[in-house]
Amino acid sequence: MTRRCITAFAALSLTWPGSGAAADLTAEQIEAYAERTVEEFGVTGLAITVVTKDSVIFRDVYGVRDVRTGVPIDENTLFPFASISKAFTTTALAMAVDEGKLGWDDPVRNFIPEFEMSDPYITAEFSVRDLVTHRSGLPVGAGDLLVFPDANPEVSDILAAMKHIPPSTSFRAGYAYDNLLYVVAGDVLARVEGRPWHEVIERRIFKPLKMKSCKALPSEGAAAKNSITQHLRTPGTMDANPVNPLYILGDNVAPAGGLSCSIKDLSTWGQFWLNEGVSASGERLISEEQFREVWTGVTPQRTSYKPGGPGNTHFSMYGLGWGLRDYNGTFMASHGGGLLGATSYFGVLPEKDIAVFVTSNISNFGVGGLSSQIIDDAAAPDSDVDLIAARYERFQRFQEQAKKDSGASDDGGDDVAIEPVRPLADYVGTYVDPWYGPVSIEIRGGALFIDMSRSEILDAPLIPVEPDKFVARWPDRKLNADAYVIFSVENGAIGGMTMEAVSDTTDFSFDFHDLNFVRKD
């Protein structure tokens, strides 16, 4: 694998200001971790930066932008970093709060009159804070099939869908990660600022921080001359393949996860947070009050305490665009990011004066292991835990399970189909879900066929596996998102259908389980 060294930028070891402890974290140590991760996880391309308030301890890149061209990554190569973008949205909202344009607890309907949830009370009470803290009561990943794998909805489409997505818990009762409400938060920001969301981010953040490489729109990031290509693997293999260009996130969904930057500019972003919202030139972009606000926990996250476990974490919360937890006795703010073909992680330990950003151009477990290992070494220098090895074990289990669930046996055997319990024509028709819309069930080439209307990718023959139950094996086997289609019978006739992912390894954004189709013809 081709590698380009960017170099280390400071002394090879440091004493953490204010921490009262010396860390043995060195550039050689970080580099060894990175090279091991690239090799063991088969990472096509990776960029990493480790910074303090006023210096870059380590910055380096590895691998290639695209396996087809072999062009090496450099420090100016753009990487999309998915949901880590959420903190950019909340940072810009915090600036608007500082200027009195909105309040975190203002009702969303003050800014978007057409905003509506499934219940009138929830609609009236739903605040800007609720948009960005994953406590809506909706199921995890609710409505993500409006976006993934290849749809590009208008914001109005998302607003129209929200009221039809049934909740899974009471309002504000618990944590369930979502993306669509961040799109709504971006629309709030655009309306109070009087300009598109991406222009707000460029003007409010990129320009004052001199993050010149960064693109706020996924289409611009993907089209840039020096940008990575996203890569995926077929479950059970290590072969990296470029994703279908249709998988690039739609521009309208950017507030939830659409930004791209170089690792050089992400070093700047890390230092901005270590300096508590102050730029390198000394300009304060968010007030001390709002800096504390975005790093204040709102929604509790489930944490299982295990004495001596990684990080010795006792509590975990979600703040305003950040995950917040205790880690080996110190505060940590962090967030991960995942797209179809890209993985990132950003962690900040302010009391240890360190921020770590790792990003790659392939979906993989290695990024989490590498970043966690560096953070663990910084927080607990005497720890001997091997988090890279732990992640590799998880990766192997994931690969084995995903391969099994994909229907690919070692001898290449196919699904064992049964004879349908009724004529295929009995299933044919248009089925409509209230938030997703119509799906077509047809007969093609003598077999039942599903056409998911919002996606050009999710179209496939249906293989009967149980009475009135079929499996859709999507043509792109790298998606790892095959689905069961279960038809319901009413008065002896097919009246509707539901869906569910075949494998537990399927990403939650393929939220087939939230669909409930009624047959219309």
- Residue given tokens 């009221």 in the structure block: 163
3-state class of 489 per DSSP?
strand
Q: Is residue 34 part of a domain?
A: yes
Question: What angle is formed at CA 174 by the lines to CA 168 and CA 177, rounded to 5 degrees?
Answer: 75
354's tokens: 């360190």
Which residues does 207 contact at the CB level (< 8 Å), separation at least 6?
Answer: none
Count: domains in the chain: 2
- The CATH number that applies at residue 257 is 3.40.710.10
Do residues 4 and 226 touch, judged by C-beta distance below 8 A?
A: no
Mean pLDDT, to the nearest integer, of 191-196? Answer: 98
Residue 129 in domain: no
Q: What's at 457, amino acid-wise? A: I
Mean pLDDT of the chain: 93
Which of 174, 183, 173, 82 lies closest to 131, judged by CA? 183
* Domain membership flag for residue 515: yes
User: What average pLDDT does range 370-397 have in this prediction?
Assistant: 93
Same structural domain, 365 and 482 = no
Strands 493-501 and 516-519: antiparallel
pLDDT digits (tens, 9 = 90+) for 243-298: 999 999 999 999 999 999 999 999 999 999 999 999 999 999 999 999 999 999 99
Statement to judge: residues 277 and 206 lie in one domain: yes
Domain extent at residue 441: 424-519
The pLDDT of residue 414 is 62
Element (H, E) at 484: strand 483-490
User: Residue 358 pLDDT > 70, yes or no?
Assistant: yes
Which CATH number goes with the domain that contains 430? Answer: 2.40.128.50
**pLDDT given at position 304:** 75
Residue 197 lies in a domain: yes
Q: What are phi and psi of 153, to 5 degrees?
A: -75, 155
Q: What are phi and psi of 311, to 5 degrees?
A: 80, -15
Same domain, 196 and 259: yes
* pLDDT higher than 60, residue 342: yes
The answer to whether position 148 is within a domain reads no
Angle between helices 387-405 and 366-379 in degrees, nearest 10 = 160
pLDDT computed for residue 308 by the predictor: 65
Same domain, 290 and 395: yes
Tell how many helices (H) and how many strands (E) occur in the chain: 14, 23
Question: 6-51, pLDDT tens digit by residue?
Answer: 333 332 222 333 343 235 678 999 999 999 999 999 999 999 999 9
**C-alpha closest to that of 132 among 291, 255, 287:** 255
Residues 6+ apart with CB under 8 A from 521: 429, 430
pTM: 0.93
Q: How confident is the model at residue 5 (pLDDT cuts 50, 70, 90)?
A: very low
Question: Are 341 and 456 members of one domain?
Answer: no
Q: What percent of the chain has pLDDT over 70?
A: 93
- Nearest 5°: the CA angle 272, 275, 276 is 90
Q: How many residues does the chain have?
A: 521
pLDDT at 344: 98
143 occurs within a structural domain: no
User: By the 8 A CB rule, do 148 and 340 touch?
Assistant: yes
